[in-house]
């Protein structure tokens, strides 16, 4: 049964883009979601130190996560996905710190599921996520993950900030604001050494959105990284490639009275 299930997971995950109604079929088929959840929770013991997660086990659970991403993306099944608290089952994967490839793949695929949730502007999604540990989990990945994981984690934080509820939540206490702004500042420092336009784009968009809040704006005048003002060559080169991000940075500096 295990081998047949593994084959079915692989085939479905390969074809998920071409099957338009796959999400409702998965959700309403008897026992399917339970089977996907079983696939996820059964590898929890392999996450504990010393971690024993193998590449085949990681690939198998990532196929399950890819199918859950379909469910998270679909308008009909997204509310049911949230009501069942399924995103919380992914948090143990986001909480891992091993840099080994099976763990990185697991984190990235889990981030993809959360990214699919926030991609569509849905107040119910934002409200759900803000009641969980998603922001601290994303912040840690933004500091320590691979470039791709950092990019998806920063995108998630950006989407939370772009919602008024998310901006209010993050700016409600100095502790939350500085948790986010200090990680963004560290990322800017890293980007001056290893530039990435797609990552810089999300970082600047986060800063720009923070500047919409009065108290955050005051704080950013003091703590905005110098590299976003004096533009060292690696940052300047990135901005030449992306006029939209350059406009966002100009707007940010104007909002802060620094330009």
Q: What is the pLDDT of residues 203-240, one digit of tens each?
A: 999 999 999 999 999 999 999 999 999 999 999 999 99
Residue 21 included in any domain: yes
**pLDDT tens digits along 52-62:** 999 999 999 99
Residue 57 included in any domain: yes
Residue 93 included in any domain: yes
145 and 255 fall within a common domain:
yes
147 and 225 fall within a common domain:
yes
- Out of 121, 142, 168, a domain closes at 121
Residue 197 included in any domain: yes
Say whether pLDDT at 244 is over 70: yes
Residue 128 included in any domain: no
pLDDT for res 51: 87
**pLDDT tens digits along 28-64:** 999 999 999 999 999 999 998 888 999 999 999 999 9
Say whether pLDDT at 22 is over 70: yes
Specify the CATH number for the domain of residue 113.
1.25.10.10
Alpha-carbon distance 162 to 63, whole Å? 30
56 and 98 fall within a common domain:
yes
pLDDT for res 1: 55
pLDDT for res 14: 83
216 and 138 fall within a common domain:
yes
Give the number of domains in the chain.
2
Q: What are 131-138's contacts with CB under 8 Å, separation 24+?
A: 132/87, 132/88, 132/91, 133/91, 134/87, 134/91, 134/160, 135/160, 135/170, 135/176, 135/179, 135/180, 136/179, 137/91, 137/94, 137/95, 138/94, 138/111
According to DSSP H, which parts of the chain are helical? 2-15, 22-28, 32-41, 55-73, 78-83, 91-94, 101-119, 123-130, 134-144, 147-162, 164-171, 174-193, 197-210, 214-223, 227-230, 233-241, 243-255
Domain enclosing residue 251, as ranges: 133-259
Alpha-carbon distance 209 to 227, whole Å? 18
Residue 178 included in any domain: yes
Residue 243 included in any domain: yes
- Out of 121, 145, 173, a domain closes at 121
147 and 256 fall within a common domain:
yes
**pLDDT tens digits along 68-125:** 999 999 999 999 999 999 999 999 999 999 999 999 999 999 999 999 999 999 999 9
pLDDT for res 11: 83
253 and 164 fall within a common domain:
yes
111 and 140 fall within a common domain:
no
194 and 82 fall within a common domain:
no
107 and 148 fall within a common domain:
no
pLDDT for res 124: 97
- Asked which of 14-18, 45-49, 80-84, 192-196 is least confident by mean pLDDT, the reply is 14-18
10 and 117 fall within a common domain:
yes
pLDDT for res 120: 92
Residue of 55, 5, 12 lying closest to 35 (CA atoms)? 5
- Out of 121, 156, 177, a domain closes at 121
Say whether pLDDT at 259 is over 80: no
Residue 236 included in any domain: yes
What pTM did the predictor assign? 0.95
75 and 150 fall within a common domain:
no
140 and 89 fall within a common domain:
no
Say whether pLDDT at 164 is over 70: yes
């Amino acid at each position: 049964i295990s081998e047949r299930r593994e084959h079915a997971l692989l085939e479905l995950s390969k074809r998920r883009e071409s099957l338009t109604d796959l999400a409702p079929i998965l959700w309403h088929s008897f026992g399917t979601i339970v089977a996907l959840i079983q696939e996820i929770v059964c590898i929890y013991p392999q996450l504990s130190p010393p971690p024993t997660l193998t590449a085949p086990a990681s690939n198998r659970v990532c196929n399950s996560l890819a199918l859950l991403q379909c469910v998270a993306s679909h308008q009909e099944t997204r509310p049911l996905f949230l009501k069942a608290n399924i995103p919380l089952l992914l948090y143990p994967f986001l909480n891992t710190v091993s840099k080994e490839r099976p763990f990185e793949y697991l984190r990235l695929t889990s981030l993809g599921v959360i990214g699919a949730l926030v991609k569509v502007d849905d107040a119910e999604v934002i409200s759900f996520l803000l009641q969980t540990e998603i922001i601290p989990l994303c912040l840690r990945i933004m500091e320590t993950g691979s470039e791709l994981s950092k990019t998806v984690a920063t995108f998630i934080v950006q989407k939370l900030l772009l919602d008024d509820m998310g901006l209010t939540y993050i700016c409600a206490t100095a502790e939350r604001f500085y948790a986010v702004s200090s990680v963004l500042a560290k990322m800017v420092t890293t980007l001056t050494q290893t530039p990435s336009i797609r990552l810089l784009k999300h970082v600047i968009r986060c800063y720009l959105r923070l500047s919409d809040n009065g108290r955050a704006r005051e704080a950013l005048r003091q703590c905005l990284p110098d590299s976003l003002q004096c533009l060292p060559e690696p940052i300047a080169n990135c901005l030449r490639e992306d006029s939209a991000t350059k406009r966002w940075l100009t707007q940010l500096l104007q909002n802060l009275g620094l330009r």
